[in-house]
Amino acid sequence: MAQETSMNPTEVSAFKQKVIDASQSTKTITSDFDQFKHLDFLANDVKTSGKMVFKAPNQVKWAYTKPYQYNVVFTEDQLLINDGGTKSKVDIGNSKLFKKLNELIVNSVKGNMFSDADFEVTFLKSAKYNKAVFIPKDKKIAEYISSFELLFNRDDAQVYEVKMIEPSKDFTQIIFSNRILNSGIDDSVFSH
Amino acid sequence: MIRFLAISFGIFFLFSSCSLRTTEGLRQVPHVDSEITNPYFANSNLDYVYKAKIEVYTRNFGGIQIIKKTDANTHRIVMTTEFGGKLMDLEYDGHTFTKNFVIDELDRKFILEVLKEDFRMLLIEKTKPIATYISPEAQVFKASNGNRFDFYFFGSTSGFLDKIVKTSKSKEKVTVNFSSLDGQVAEKIAIHHNNIQLKIDLEKFKEEKNAN
């Protein structure tokens, strides 16, 4: 584990600006990911893998391919789900929590969520990465997530790891790899 | 004659309404006092991880079902979304369920009672049956569960536990079908309810082959 120290105010503002610049120049992202669900009573974390596709301003698709096929497309008001051939839609229009989660996911993929008033953010650095830790102020969200951590490459300010820590300390960790930026992505990728 | 027919029909309806489908085609044999075992969640060294697909009244949900035997009599039961968010975290000691965490949307007495009863059927490891039946395909044990019964079907050739059926005196309530290659771990589990439109299908995560 790399040793972490707090960023000073100058470092924080330079880091934020670098992330905002990077996210503004990012029109599309495709990336492989490995997801690990850690539960303290299990011998091994539960691993799933797949591909994530993002297209600005807010289209996101998570396609799990191992060990099962499961696609979710996030739209403004709906989750479009294809669960191994079984298609369904979930309305998120009326759910404040779901909207917030959707926003979190889009913004964490882009790496630009520092202006979010719903979180208290602290910034840390190590030789390998910069880290932003988000603690929800909203009590409802805090029942599900005690903190949300994003790890950024020091050089290109891209997110390479997302970690959602629950109040029980169990967590979900998503590690991105093989990231491709600004390739042409057709809107049909996000169709149901 | 009319009276005879009336009595005959009466008897027919009486018997047909009381006859339990589960034991049709089975022959009851003398019962030997013994214990039967459901091996499918009995190994405390294993993490039991399944992809879950749930169909409730034409609506579909999915998730990951995780079960672990944490000591001699206790199981931990966690369900998460595909993204890893916890939906439910229960503990079962063979008699009582303890609720560690349940999201608001699922935290309804009716939903939890149905799920707890399904988990009980999956997790009860040792049972003392009260009657034994056979057919060419299966050896079947009837166990008492309050005012309900659980019928355990073991394949007569494989000896594997293939099915558990929960019944009242006259009706099948829930059927759990197991598909297993070795009789120790269930690759697939299908839970079908007869009195409500609820189906839960579980498919075990496949072991990842080491690339080296």
- What are the extents of the domains in chain B? 22-204
Query: Distances from the Cα of B124 to the Cαs of A50, B27, B183, in angstroms?
Result: 35, 26, 16
pLDDT of res. A23: 83
Partner residue opposite A47 with nearest CB, options B85, B86, B208:
B208
Nearest to B47 among A44, A86, A170 (CB): A44
Residue B33 has which token pair? 């006092």
Model pLDDT for residues B71-121, shown as the tens digit of each residue: 999 999 999 999 898 999 999 999 999 999 998 888 999 999 999 999 999
Cβ–Cβ gap A39/B66 under 8 Å: yes
Say yes or no for a CB contact (<8 Å) between A42 and B66: yes
The Cα–Cα gap between B153 and B127 comes to 13
Give the model's pLDDT for residue B17: 47
From chain A, pick out residues whose CB is under 8 angstroms from the CB of B98. Answer: none
> A67 and B103 in contact by Cβ < 8 A?
no
- For domain B22-204, the CATH architecture is Clam (2.50)
Would you say B202 and B66 are in contact if contact means Cβ atoms under 8 Å apart? no
Nearest CA in chain A to B60: A88
| Cα–Cα distances in angstroms (integers) from residue A70 to residues A49, A64, A90, in the given order | 10, 5, 15
- Between the alpha carbon of residue B114 and those of residues B111, B147, B149, B192, the distances in Å are 5, 16, 16, 12
Residue A97 banded pLDDT, cuts 50, 70, 90: low
The third-level CATH classification (topology) of the domain covering A5-181 is outer membrane lipoprotein receptor (LolB), chain A (2.50.20)
Tell me the residues of A at the B interface, defined by beta carbons under 8 Å apart. Answer: 35, 37, 39, 41-44, 46-48, 62, 64, 66-68, 70, 72, 81, 83-84, 86, 88, 144, 164, 166, 168, 170, 172
CA of B100 vs chain A CAs: smallest distance (Å): 10
Q: What is the model's pLDDT at position A89?
A: 86
Nearest CA in chain A to B45: A43
pLDDT of residue A57: 84
Instruction: Using a pLDDT cut of 70, give the percent of chain A over it.
Output: 89
Interchain contact, B70 vs A43, CB within 8 Å? no
Q: Which residue in chain A has the smallest CA separation from B78?
A: A39
Per-residue pLDDT band for A4 (boundaries 50, 70, 90) equals very high
Return the pLDDT at B15: 43
Contacts of B100 in chain A (CB under 8 A): 168
Q: pLDDT-derived band of residue A102, with 50, 70 and 90 as boundaries?
A: low
Min Cα–Cα distance to chain A from B182, Å: 21
Q: Which residues of chain B have pLDDT under 70?
A: 1-18, 208-212
What are the boundaries of each domain within chain A? 5-181
Interface-testing mutation among A33, A39, A81, A102, with chain B (most B C-beta atoms within 10 A):
A39
* pTM of the entire predicted model: 0.89
Tokens of B125: 């490891």
What pLDDT is stored for residue B12 in this prediction?
43
> In whole angstroms, what is the distance from residue B104 CA to residue B85 CA?
13
Contacts of B60 in chain A (CB under 8 A): 81, 83, 86, 88
Give A-chain residues touching B66 at CB under 8 angstroms: 37, 39, 42, 46
Report residue A157's pLDDT band, with 50, 70 and 90 as the boundaries: confident
Question: Which positions in chain B touch A172 (Cβ < 8 Å)?
Answer: 83-85
The answer to whether the CB of A87 falls within 8 A of the CB of A72 is: no
The chain-wide mean pLDDT, for chain A, equals 88
ipTM associated with this complex: 0.89
Closest in A68, A83, A172 to B84, CB measured: A172
Which of B56, B86, B90, B106 is the best mutation test for A, with the most CBs of A within 10 A? B86
Are residues A47 and B203, on separate chains, in Cβ contact within 8 Å?
no
Task: Report which of B62, B132, B111 is spatially closest to residue A82, judged by C-alpha positions.
Answer: B62
The CA distance from A52 to the nearest CA of chain B, in Å, is 12
* pLDDT tens digit sequence for A172-192: 999 999 999 999 899 999 887
Across the interface, whether the CB atoms of A144 and B103 are under 8 A apart is answered yes
Q: Is pLDDT above 50 for A146?
A: yes
A101 DSSP 8-state letter: H
**Is residue A18's pLDDT more than 80?**
yes
Could you give the CA distance from residue B30 to residue B16 in angstroms, rounded to a whole number?
A: 25
Contact A168 B62 (CB under 8 A): no
Tens of pLDDT, residues A29-82: 999 999 999 999 999 999 999 999 999 888 889 999 999 999 999 877 788 999
